[in-house]
């Protein structure tokens, strides 16, 4: 049986421990989108830690089996979802494919790489969910190719309302091993951050696109 609360806390602990997640409310990062952010997440770092990599693989496998049942294929989202997806596919003994951000610019022009298994029930693997835009582009590409997308599983989510709305609009269920709320609870309890930091981090999550720019004006 998949223990949601226990897994959320354990994954939060691992991500903070290896600095896959960095919290800097007083020295914000700037994302590629231009957003100012007090948090930066790079789940690719988990791949360099065998114990953590194994735990994530096992928990993604459990949550997929419990939430989505029988599936015929695993699809990773390029690029960070590719290794995570391949590990899960290996654990489940299933075929693996991956979805590019855009069609290949030479050769076959593929957007989906691997044997095309039209009609297969597939679960998509992503490392991180922010707004859900890139994940849902992959979902749309798979559906266009004839796959039955059961849903998407990821390691971590920021918990933005816009992501929930986007996945709902796309009629695509999604699940994550951990999330922003669980992370803040663990980080405060174990003194990675202060109570004041928690308030700042919560403010950011409420309005990520404008946070920081307002403070600078």
Q: Is pLDDT of 21 > 90? A: yes
d(CA 199, CA 171): 33
pLDDT single digits (tens) 59-113: 999 999 999 999 999 999 999 999 999 999 999 999 999 999 888 766 667 899 9
pTM: 0.93
Q: Is pLDDT of 217 > 50? A: no
Which DSSP category does 90 fall into? H
Q: Strands 73-77 and 96-99: what pairing? A: parallel
Task: For residue 37, give the H/E element and its range.
Answer: strand 36-37
- Among 19-28, 106-115, 149-158, the minimum mean pLDDT is found in 106-115
- β-pair partners for 99: 77, 112
Which DSSP category does 200 fall into? H
In the prediction, which pLDDT does 108 show?
65
Around Cβ 55, how many Cβ atoms within 10 Å? Answer: 17
pLDDT single digits (tens) 122-141: 999 999 999 999 999 999 99
Q: Is pLDDT of 31 > 70? A: yes
Helix (H, G, I), strand (E, B) or coil at 148: strand
């Amino acid at each position: 049986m998949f223990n949601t609360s226990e897994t959320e806390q354990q994954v939060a602990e691992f991500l903070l421990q290896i600095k896959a997640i960095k919290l800097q409310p007083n020295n914000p990062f700037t994302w590629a989108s231009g957003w100012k952010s007090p948090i930066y997440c790079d789940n690719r770092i988990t791949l360099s830690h065998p114990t953590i990599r194994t735990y994530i693989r096992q928990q993604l496998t459990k949550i997929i089996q419990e939430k989505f049942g029988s599936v015929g294929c695993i699809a990773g989202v390029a690029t960070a979802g590719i290794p995570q997806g391949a590990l899960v596919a290996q654990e489940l003994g299933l075929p693996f494919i991956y979805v590019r951000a855009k069609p290949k610019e030479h050769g076959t022009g593929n957007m989906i790489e691997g044997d095309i298994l039209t009609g297969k029930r597939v679960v998509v693997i992503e490392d991180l969910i922010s707004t859900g835009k890139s994940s849902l582009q992959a979902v749309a590409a798979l559906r266009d190719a004839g796959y039955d997308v059961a849903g998407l599983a990821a390691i971590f989510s920021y918990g933005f309302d816009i992501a929930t709305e986007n996945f709902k609009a796309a009629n695509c269920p999604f699940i994550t091993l951990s999330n922003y709320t669980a992370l803040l609870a663990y980080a405060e309890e174990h003194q990675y951050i202060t109570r004041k930091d928690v308030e700042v981090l919560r403010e950011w999550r409420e309005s990520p696109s404008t946070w920081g720019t307002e403070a600078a004006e």
